[in-house]
Structure 1
């Protein structure tokens, strides 16, 4: 970790410690609220806050999935752009488990409120409707061809949930870090916030 990354990590941790009693929507940095409101992505500040929180859990889910499959990324951010509300940048690696990274965003959102699908019928229905998600659905399906789950989306989805659920504390920590910090978080900082792999 570089000295600059160390300073960023310390600043994020200090801010999280100061706001430890606050819920996610209460700690969204003004930068993310104004960007969504002024960019026309939200009609008022309240939905801008809510959207930033959803995006933070989504991107944290992707980033933690990268860590879970021993891949790499350069940085993570919830800066909204023309094509996405946030992004985990320059992902490399993942091998046959790369589909887990693609599913990580949606799994992260489910972990936020513990609303993960329980029955095969519900998973099958979700997967049938999961098409337009910034490319995540396409990458998930494309990744299955190199995995043991080729042709079995339901089992692949359950595998993703099983792999990422133990990482929920790390997803939460990283999501909150993304919310309080007004810029991207480099890989080393994001990895520290997510913490070590679950035992």
Structure 2
């Protein structure tokens, strides 16, 4: 697949500015420092109003549909949410409720999350990873979690988190553009 690759960032944060979005942008920047990519950032704060009232995909406004297609067509997804009531935000999940069941098969997905403290770090393993396992996506083994103490305002100030971001990006790059299924619709027969 020719460069530049498509990297789509999905932030489940319900606030702007957002530490979650800042973390996801830092991860995307670390990927972009290693390989030529076009980065598109999808923020729930921006598309939430158009997403919230829809019960079916054909109820969505054209701009939200375009964002869903970008997710489905990405070469790499970088997704994250703040911890909200022990899980990801509801609108984050609602967005992925509209993604085609086989659209993410084999697609590399780098998982990230933010929370008030270290006790929330398991959101990646207990909430995000199962969601993307349903889609048969290739969730990368190394996720990135940052707590409030890892930020100075909305800038990452923690050297260990910056190091983890760089390691996650380094490990993601070889997988960009290598989805395991050329035509995911072929799986619908199974």
- Normalised to the residue count of structure 2, the TM-score between the two structures is 0.28
Higher strand share: 2
If asked which structure has higher relative contact order (CA below 8 Å, sep 6+), I would say 1
TM-score of the pair, normalised by structure 1: 0.27
**Who wins on radius of gyration, i.e. which is larger?**
1
